[in-house]
Amino acid sequence: MEEKEARPDVLSRLMDFVKSTGMTTNAFISRIGMGSTTVFNQINGKRALSLDTVLNTLNNFDDLSAEWLMRGNGIMKLSERMGKFENISVKNEGRIDALIDTITLLQETIKMKNATIDALQAELSQYKHKAKKA
């Protein structure tokens, strides 16, 4: 229980995010499209943080990680995570290309197998139809 109390709550993380954007509280409220009195009361602790405020924030800031905001896990901004993938080494790029080729080959194989299954089902249907007539 002590760990949860030591971690910042959703409101604290939300305010950290707003601060990181460099926006004023009024600009933030305007961007999420909510009434200023409502959000100010939530920020000041007069009212509990509402689900509408959280959802409007997530819907208006694509870069904000919902996992970070709600649970405090991971990183605040999704763009920080994407930046890590830009540094993939040439060796890994070769592996990725090989995986893409393998996936493409497997998809083509699946298409061919599905075509065979369809043909066999049609043939089976014809035999069943002939058997009923006999």
Q: Are residues 94 and 77 in the same domain?
A: no
CATH of the domain at 57: 1.10.260.40
Per-residue pLDDT tens over the stretch 69-120? 999 888 999 887 765 555 555 557 777 777 888 898 899 999 999 999 999 9
Both 92 and 29 in one domain: the answer is no
Contact 18, 78 (CB under 8 A): no
Distances (CA, A) of 101 to 92, 94, 95, 106, 113: 14, 11, 10, 9, 18
Task: Answer yes or no: are the C-beta atoms of 49 and 10 closer than 8 Å.
Answer: yes
Q: Do 18 and 71 share a structural domain?
A: yes
Q: Is the full-model pTM beyond 0.75?
A: no
